[in-house]
Chain A
Amino acid sequence: MGARRSRADATFKVIVIVFASSVLVLALLFFYEFGSAASQTLRLGLSFLSGSEWNPVDNVYGVLPMIYGSFVTSAIALVLGVPVSLGVAIFLSELSPRTLRAPIGFVVELLAAVPSVVYGLWGLLVFAPFLRTYVYPSIQSYLGFIPIFGGRLYSSSILTAGIVLAIMIIPIVSAVSRDALLAVPNSQREAAYALGATKSEAIQMSVLSYARSGILASIILGLGRAFGETMAVVMVVGNTPYISGSIFSPGYTLASLIANEYSEASSPTYISALVEAGLVLMVVVLLTNLAARYLIQRLGRNREAASYL
C-alpha cells in the first residue's frame, strides 16, 4: 500500500515536471530555431541591420527602416500614452471617490480586452481618416516649419500608428503605475500635508517620487507592448520601407513587416530575413521585459508584476 502510494507520488511529480519542461522547451526552441534561421542571413552581415533598402525582388534586405519605424511609433505611443496613463493612475489611486474607483479601473482594463485587429479595423476605417481630415492639417499649419511635421499628409502614417499604440498601452501603463502608487505608504502623503502641501503638491513631492521605479517599470512594459504590437500597426502604418523624416509619412515596423510579407516570402533568404527581423523584435521586447521585471522586483512586488508581463 505504502509503496503504491509513493509510486503515485513519484508519477505525479514526473508528470508535472514533464509538463513544466514544456515552458523551457518552448523558450529554447525560440532561441534555437530563430538562431539557426537567422544564421542564414548572417552572410548579409551587418548590412541587414544597417541597410536602409528593403527590396526582396533583388534580394536586398536591410531592416533599418523597420527598426526606425518600430522605435518611432513606440516613442510616439509613449509620449502621448504615458501622461494620460499616469493621469488615470493618479486619479484612481489618489483622487477618485471610492465608489468610482472600481468601475473606472474596470473600464480602463477593458481597453486591453479589445482584440488588436479590432483596433486596426477601427484605426484604418474610422480613426485614421478622422485624423487626416480634422487633426493633421491644423498640426501642420502650426508646426509645419519643423521637419518632422512637414511633407505630404497621409492617413496611414507613422503618427497614426503611434496614436493608436498610445491608446493600446494605456491599460497596462495605468494599471502597473496605479499599483505602484497604491503601494506608497500613507505616511509619505501625511508628511507632505503636514508641511502644508496641497493635494497636487503632495502627489508631486512625495507620492510620485516614492513610486518612480514602479512608474518607470510601467513605462518600459508599455514600450514592450507597443514595440511588439502587430495587427493594429500593420493596418494603419502604411507598410512602406523607407525612412522619411516626417511622422506624417507612411512607414513600416518589424512586427508589421513579418505579418505583411511572410505569406508572400518565396525564397529561403527572404524567409530567413523575416525570421531575423523577428529575432531583432524578440530580443528588444525581451530586454524591455527583463528591465521592467528587475524594477518591479526591486519594489518587492514581484507577485503583481507577473500578472502584467
Chain B
Amino acid sequence: MTSRRALKDRILIGLTFVCVVIAIVPLATILYYVTVRGLPAISLEFFTKVTPPPSVAEGMGNAVQGTLLLVGLATCIGIPFGVLSGVYISEYGKNLFGRTVRFFGDVLVGNPSIVFGLLVAIVIVSPTHGYSVVAGSVALGTLMIPIVTVATAEALKMVPNSIREASTALGVRKWRTSLLVVSNAKSGVATGALLATARIMGETAPLLLTAGSSTLWYNGLWRPVASLPSYIYLFGISPFPDWITLAWGAAFILIVIVMGINITVRMLTRRRSDAGG
C-alpha cells in the first residue's frame, strides 16, 4: 500500500518534469529552425538591397530600415507618455482620477494588438487615404503607452516612502521629489521601457492595418513602409522559395534583436535583485 502511494508520488512528480520539457521543446525547435533556415539568408545584400521580385535572391534592407524607423518613432510616443502617466499614477494618483487611469492602463495592457491597429486605421489611415509611417508609428506607440505606464507605476511603487518623506522634510518641492523618486527607480523604469520596445518590435498585426507594406526604401512619412514583421508574414505565406528563405532570414534578425534585449534586461535585473537580496 505504502509503496503504491510512493510510486504514485514519484509518477506525479515525474509528470511535472515532463511538462517542463514539453514547455521548453517548442522554444528550442523554433530557435533551431529560425537559425538553420534563417542564417543562410543573411548576407550583406540582405541589408543593402530592397525587396526582390520572386525568384531573384536579393535583400530586405528596406524592411530593416522601416522597422528601425517605426520602432524609433513609436518609442518617442510610448516612452514619454507612458513614463509620465506612470509618474502621475504613483506620485499624484491617490484619487479617483489616478485610480481610473490605472484601471484603464491595466485594461489596455491586455487589449489585443490588432485592436490597436484597427483603431489607428479608423482614426488616421481612413481620413488620410492610405497606409503610412505615421499611422504605423502611432499604432505601435499607443500600444506601448499602457505597457510602459503600468511598468513605470510598479517600479516607482518599489521606491521606499522614506525617500519621499526625507525629500519633503528638506523642503524640496513635490515635482523635484517626484524626479528624485524616478531617478531612484530608473533601472526599473528603463527595464519596462526596453521590454516594451522589444515587444512592439515584433508586433505585426497592427502594422498590417496601418503601415501597410512597400517594396521601396522609405520615401516619406505619409507613405507606406516595409517592416521585418510584416515581411515575415507576407513572404512566409507566399509560394516562392526565395521569399520564404528571406522570411526566415527576417525572423532570424528579429529573434536575435528581441531575444537579445530580453535576455540582457533580465540578466541585468536578476543580478541587481540578487545583490539587493
Interface of A toward B, CB cutoff 8 Å: 5-6, 8-9, 11-13, 15-17, 19-24, 26-27, 29-30, 33-34, 37, 83-88, 90-91, 95, 102, 104, 106-111, 113-122, 124-127, 167, 170, 174, 198-201, 203, 221, 224, 227-231, 234-235, 255, 258-259, 262-263, 271, 274-275, 278, 281-282, 285-286, 288-290, 293, 303, 306-307, 309
Closest residue of chain B to A292, judged by CB? B110
Interface size on B, residues (CB 8 A): 92
Specify which of A19, A37, A106, A201 lies most central, judged by the most chain B CB atoms within 10 Å of its CB: A19
A-B contact pairs, 13 of them (CB 8 A): A22-B85, A26-B108, A27-B104, A29-B123, A87-B20, A117-B232, A120-B236, A124-B236, A125-B33, A198-B8, A231-B205, A258-B205, A285-B111
Q: Which of B40-48, B50-58, B68-76, B254-262 lies at the binding interface?
A: B254-262
Q: Which of B97, B205, B251 contacts A255 (CB 8 A)?
A: B205
Within 8 Å CB of B89, what residues of A?
A: 20
Contacts A12-B178, A87-B20 given: A17-B88 contact, CB under 8 Å? Answer: yes
Interface string of B14-31 (1 = CB under 8 A from A): 011111101110110110
Within 8 Å CB of B132, what residues of A?
A: none
Closest residue of chain A to B93, judged by CB? A20
The answer to the question of B107 belonging to the interface, with a C-beta cut-off of 8 Å to chain A, is yes
Q: Which of A27, A108, A118, A174 contacts B254 (CB 8 A)?
A: A118
Closest residue of chain B to A293, judged by CB? B106
Contacts A201-B5, A262-B118 given: A115-B92 contact, CB under 8 Å? Answer: no
Whether B145 pairs with A23 at a CB distance below 8 angstroms is yes
Distance in Å from the Cβ of B176 to the closest Cβ of chain A?
8
Closest residue of chain B to A87, judged by CB? B19
Within 8 Å CB of B114, what residues of A?
A: 228, 230, 255, 258-259, 278, 281
Complex CA gap A87/B11 in Å reads 12
Distance in Å from the Cβ of A71 to the closest Cβ of chain B?
15
8 A Cβ contacts from B97-128 to A = 97-98, 100-101, 104-115, 118-119, 121-123, 126
The answer to the question of B198 belonging to the interface, with a C-beta cut-off of 8 Å to chain A, is yes
Starting from the known contacts A108-B23, A235-B233, 6 additional A-B residue pairs (CB-CB under 8 Å) come to A26-B104, A33-B123, A110-B262, A121-B232, A228-B114, A306-B153
Distance in Å from the Cβ of B255 to the closest Cβ of chain A?
6
Closest residue of chain B to A277, judged by CB? B118
Contacts A126-B29, A258-B209 given: A235-B236 contact, CB under 8 Å? Answer: yes
Within 8 Å CB of A30, what residues of B?
A: 111, 115, 119
Within 8 Å CB of B97, what residues of A?
A: 17, 20
Within 8 Å CB of A12, what residues of B?
A: 174-175, 178
Complex CA gap A53/B121 in Å reads 25
Closest residue of chain B to A91, judged by CB? B16
Complex CA gap A262/B84 in Å reads 34
Complex CA gap A274/B115 in Å reads 11
Q: Which of B30, B80, B98 contacts A122 (CB 8 A)?
A: B30
Interface of B toward A, CB cutoff 8 Å: 5-6, 8-9, 12-13, 15-20, 22-24, 26-27, 29-30, 33-34, 80-81, 84-85, 87-89, 91-93, 97-98, 100-101, 104-115, 118-119, 121-123, 126, 142, 145-146, 149-151, 153-154, 157, 173-175, 178, 198, 201-205, 208-209, 212, 229, 232-233, 236-237, 244, 247-248, 251, 254-255, 258-259, 262-263, 266, 270
Whether A115 pairs with B229 at a CB distance below 8 angstroms is yes
Whether B149 pairs with A231 at a CB distance below 8 angstroms is no
Whether A19 pairs with B85 at a CB distance below 8 angstroms is yes
Complex CA gap A306/B89 in Å reads 13
Complex CA gap A301/B43 in Å reads 49
Within 8 Å CB of B12, what residues of A?
A: 200, 203
Within 8 Å CB of B209, what residues of A?
A: 258-259, 262-263
Contacts A22-B145, A23-B101, A87-B19 given: A111-B27 contact, CB under 8 Å? Answer: yes
Q: Which of B29, B84, B262 contacts A113 (CB 8 A)?
A: B262
Q: Which of B29, B101, B178, B202 contacts A20 (CB 8 A)?
A: B101
Within 8 Å CB of A201, what residues of B?
A: 5, 9
Contacts A17-B92, A200-B13 given: A224-B110 contact, CB under 8 Å? Answer: yes
